[in-house]
Each structure stands twice: as structure tokens, then as C-alpha cells.
């Protein structure tokens, strides 16, 4: 059955998107890069996020591109090792030109995180979850 899952996202400019994600600490499998796409690798299990220029993405999705200024199609959540990592990533996002839409804060007594939008308006949620505090 299924061996792996990839997330595909449309971007206006692949080079700018790659630079942004590189600055905040993500890595890339450049052997899969093309002039209109790049292969971002997230986490220890190497979850693949493909960034495609909008025209290419629209071509194979056979659908319009969501206007991220007025709506969200997806919220991408990633984990953090601790609260400090959440704060560090929030600062990296700010420094790289991303938009923080939810400042780092505690939630429900056992989670600490923040939300940001990348250069193309895709929304990301970064969470440290302290399961020892979950009741």
C-alpha cells in the first residue's frame, strides 16, 4: 500500500520560497530540483514538501490556486523539541520575512506554539506538546 506521502504547495517564485525555508532551518533534496520546483525535506522522517511554481501546480492539480490572502486550504503543523525551539523558529521566520499570525503562547496548559505564513501565504503551525501535562 502507501509507502510515503508528499505535500505539494504552489509558490510564486521557487528561488525565493527556497531561500525563505532555508533561512528558517529546513533542508532540501536538491537532486530533485528543477527550474520550476524544489524538494523540501522536513523532520527526522524526511517528510517531502514539493514547492511548485503556481502555473505548474495548477497544471497538474487541474484546479485554481487558493488566494491565501482571503482563505486557507490547509494548516501545516510541525512539532518542536521544546519551548525554546518554538521561540527560536518564530524569530527565524520574522528575520526571513515571514508573517507571524499567532505569537508564541501556551495553549490548553500542555502545548506551546505559534503560527506563521510563509512568503506565499501558506499557514504553518509550530507546536511543542508536553504530554506529561496532558490530563
Query: Tens of pLDDT along 68-113?
Result: 999 998 999 999 999 999 999 999 999 999 999 999 999 999 999 9
Query: Tens of pLDDT along 2-57?
Result: 778 899 999 999 999 999 999 999 999 999 999 999 999 998 888 999 999 999 99
65, 93, 110 - which closes a domain = 65
Same domain, 12 and 43: yes
What is the domain extent for residue 54?
Answer: 1-65
Say what the pLDDT of residue 124 is: 97
CA distances from 7 to 34, 83, 107 (A): 17, 26, 27
Same domain, 55 and 91: no
Whichever domain contains 131, its CATH number is 3.10.180.10
Same domain, 29 and 54: yes
Same domain, 114 and 134: yes
Say what the pLDDT of residue 56 is: 96
Q: Model confidence at 134, in pLDDT bands (50, 70, 90)?
A: confident
Q: Which residues contact residue 118 at a Cβ distance below 8 angstroms, ignoring those fewer than 6 apart?
A: 17, 20, 21, 98, 124
Same domain, 107 and 132: yes
The Cα diameter of the chain in Å comes to 49
State the CB neighbour count (10 A cutoff) for residue 68: 15
Q: What is the pTM of this model?
A: 0.90
Same domain, 32 and 87: no
Same domain, 111 and 57: no
* 112 grid coordinates: 506551546
32, 65, 98 - which closes a domain = 65
Say what the pLDDT of residue 3 is: 77
Q: 3-state class of 52 per DSSP? A: strand
* Cα dihedral 69, 74, 80, 82 in deg (nearest 10): 70
- Please list the alpha-helical segments (H only) found in 7-133: 14-23, 54-61, 83-96
Helices (H) and strands (E) in the chain, counts: 3, 8
Number of domains the chain contains: 2
Amino acid at each position: 500500500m502507501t509507502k510515503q506521502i508528499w505535500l505539494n504547495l504552489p509558490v510564486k517564485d521557487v528561488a525565493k520560497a527556497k531561500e525563505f525555508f532555508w533561512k528558517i532551518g529546513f533542508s532540501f533534496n536538491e537532486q530533485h530540483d528543477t527550474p520550476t520546483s524544489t524538494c523540501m525535506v522536513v523532520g527526522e522522517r524526511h517528510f517531502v514538501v514539493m514547492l511548485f511554481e503556481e502555473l505548474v501546480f495548477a497544471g497538474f492539480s487541474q484546479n485554481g490556486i487558493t488566494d491565501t490572502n482571503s482563505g486557507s486550504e490547509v494548516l501545516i503543523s510541525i512539532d518542536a523539541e521544546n519551548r525554546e525551539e518554538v521561540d527560536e523558529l518564530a524569530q527565524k521566520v520574522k528575520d526571513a520575512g515571514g508573517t507571524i499570525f499567532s505569537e508564541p503562547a501556551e495553549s490548553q496548559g500542555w502545548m506551546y506554539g505559534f503560527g506563521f505564513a510563509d512568503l506565499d501565504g501558506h499557514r504553518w503551525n509550530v507546536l511543542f506538546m508536553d504530554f506529561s501535562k496532558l490530563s
